[in-house]
Structure 1
Amino acid sequence: MPEVARTAYQMISGMTPVLQPGNFVFVTTQDPALVTTLFPHAIATVKEDEGMSMVIPVELAKKSNLNADHPMRCITLNVYSSLEGIGLTAAVSAALGDNGIPCNMVAAFHHDHVFLPAELCDQAMMTLIALQNSVAGHVSSKDG
């Protein structure tokens, strides 16, 4: 595994956003049989008091008669960010918010993932690349 980015500058300047293929939706269910069916296809899961929340392919949601009205795309930030790092989520969500792009951040062990309305993915990619480039030009040698 490459070196883990720990500072905000390291994380943002190295985030290298990549648009993932496919459209996804957030769904939730308390039905154990449906959880069992969907779980192998979920790209993210969170157990909440209200049920199991999952991010699944939109086609699977439709096939399972679940709400698929808000398809989302996923942008993976390909920096190995520290789980204790501060600033990446705030910078990404602020940049997108400043451009009128809603987002849902999902942090995993190796990378952070940004889910946003499918129709805004191109604008979001441009925004995130601009953010990365603006910070990369200002990283001091001690932070980079």
Structure 2
Amino acid sequence: MTDGPVREGRAMIAGMSPRLDPETWIFCTGGAPLTQAIASFAEAEGLSQILPLAFAEMAGHDTSLPMARIVLEVHSALDGHGLTAAVSTALAEAGIACNMVAAFHHDHVFVPFAEKDRALAVLAALQSKAG
């Protein structure tokens, strides 16, 4: 374990330790900000939020594209380089769509819920190659 964030791409990939979150998530827009949102972003077109499935249903949002979240456990630096590119490329090569969300400590990979196990295997293989 490092004392601070990891900046170098290969080191971030080698230490990413992808972990599947058991929750199902929905990307949605419109409506009031909800405290249950794991993330939100104010875009010119309106407020985008990532909500747990149950709250998205209660709020009347479209839930036709459920997403799984894979947390990359490495403490990735905000000015680090290469992690997003490597992860998104590996998933794209496997035919898996992904949406990356960078937070202060970790990066989060959202993939279609039906692809979660395959995506986790792809990321585990990527980490193994970098180690």
Instruction: Please give the range of the TM-score, normalised by the shorter of the 2 chains.
Output: over 0.9
Specify the alignment match of 1:115 in structure 2.
110
How far, CA to CA, are the matches of 2:110 and 2:29 in structure 1?
16
Matching residue's letter, 2:130: V
**Structure 2 unaligned regions, length at least 5:** none
Among 91, 96, 110, the residue aligned to 2:91? 96
- The answer on 1:22 being equivalent to 2:23 is yes
Root-mean-square deviation (CA, aligned residues, Å) is 1.0
Q: CA deviation at 1:2?
A: 3.6
| Greater than 2 Å deviation, 4+ residue runs | none
Task: Give the structure with the higher percent helix.
Answer: 1
Secondary structure of residue in 1 paired with 2:101: strand
Indicate the percent of aligned positions where both proteins have the same amino acid.
45
Specify the alignment match of 2:75 in structure 1.
80
When the two structures are aligned, how many residues end up with a matched partner?
A: 130
Q: Deviations over 1:78-130 (max 9, x none)?
A: 00111111100000000000000000000000000000100000000000000
Q: How does 1:1-144 map to 2 (within 5 A)?
A: 2-29=3-30, 31=31, 34-35=32-33, 38=34, 40-136=35-131
Larger Rg: 1
Secondary structure of residue in 2 paired with 1:12: helix
Task: Give the structure with the higher percent strand.
Answer: 2
How far, CA to CA, are the matches of 1:58 and 1:66 in structure 2?
9
How far, CA to CA, are the matches of 1:3 and 1:130 in structure 2?
25
**Structure 1 unaligned regions, length at least 5:** 137-144
Secondary structure of residue in 2 paired with 1:23: strand
